[in-house]
Amino acid sequence: MPLRDLLLGLLVIVIWAFNIIVIKVGVDDMPPLMLMTLRFMLVAVLVVPFTRVTRRQLPWLLVLSVTFGGLHFPLLFLGLGQAEAGTGALLVQMGTPFATLLAAVFLKERLDLRRLLGLLLAFAGAVVLAGGPALPNVTATLTLLTSALAWAVSTLIIKRAPAISPLTLAGWIALFAIPQVALGSWLFETQHLEALRRAGWIGWGAVFYTAVMSSIIAYGLWYALLRRHPVNRVVPLTLLMPVIAVFLGVWLLGDGLDSHKLLGGALVIAGLAVINLPGRRRARTAP
């Protein structure tokens, strides 16, 4: 990969890692579901007028608006409100092993020894994290793991859906998810007008960053890289995201860095690497 594209890939990973920090501080300034609703509104306003969907794509977008927009993102925001940023980032990475298992069960994708080893490493890392003091309460942990599972389900749906461009996907999922998340905010959060008046630059900055930087700019750059390079050269960069998020949490938020987080995080990332990185092909011998 040329140096310019490598630097663009690393920029995307840093944007996504910093997104974890932004969400963490944002939900301290604004109710999580309200922040999520405002984020979806901004994404929809900026993207939907410039994209079109077909009648065949519409049902898939409606389903994804529930699994991705109505479950994954709101649960991520709610979970990060009660967890350390780095620990939350590591737990959400369990979406990859969840997706691998679901693909094996529902899509009949082959689960070879290498991927089984990756699954074992990732789940062992989650168990080690569970034994550490940095793990949030049971409710927050289950919320983050459910967010990861919703991401995994959404990934399988996208695999089966007709081709939809990334920005179209982001914009229309956001549009259809607005009433779902707004209803959740109305049912479970209070004093909405007061929260809007009280919100400072951190809360509004989180709305802007999560919508524009993370959803539109980062994904736009990412899929441009995927169009120019093989997937196995681009996707491994994502292994750096939780690592950077952990150290940003320590540096910017004062999160702890104990042995459980280091070992558990290393196991999770090693498991992701084994699952995601391409296996070495055997050289063919001449007949």
pLDDT digits (tens, 9 = 90+) for 90-131: 888 888 899 888 888 888 888 888 888 989 998 888 888 766
Asked if residue 286 has pLDDT above 90, the reply is no
CA 193, CA 195: separation in Å to the nearest integer?
Answer: 5
Please indicate whether residue 287 or residue 93 has the higher confidence score (pLDDT): 93
Q: Using an 8 Å Cβ cutoff, are 239 and 269 in contact?
A: yes
CA 88, CA 126: separation in Å to the nearest integer?
Answer: 11
pLDDT (tens digit, 9 = 90+) per residue, 222-277?
A: 888 877 887 667 777 888 888 898 899 989 998 888 887 888 889 989 988 888 77
pLDDT (tens digit, 9 = 90+) per residue, 135-175?
A: 667 888 899 999 999 999 998 998 888 988 888 999 999 99
Lowest mean pLDDT among 73-82, 105-114, 187-196: 105-114
Q: Using an 8 Å Cβ cutoff, are 22 and 204 in contact?
A: no
pLDDT (tens digit, 9 = 90+) per residue, 14-50?
A: 999 999 999 999 999 999 999 999 999 999 999 999 9
- CA 30 and chain centroid, separation: 20
Provide the residue ranges of all domains of the chain, joining segments of one domain with +.
3-276
CA angle 36, 42, 48 (to 5 degrees): 120
Q: Using an 8 Å Cβ cutoff, are 175 and 40 in contact?
A: yes
Which pTM was predicted?
Answer: 0.87
How many CB atoms neighbour CB 195 within 10 A? 17
Region 61-74 average pLDDT: 95
Give the per-residue pLDDT at 115: 85
CA 106, CA 120: separation in Å to the nearest integer?
Answer: 20
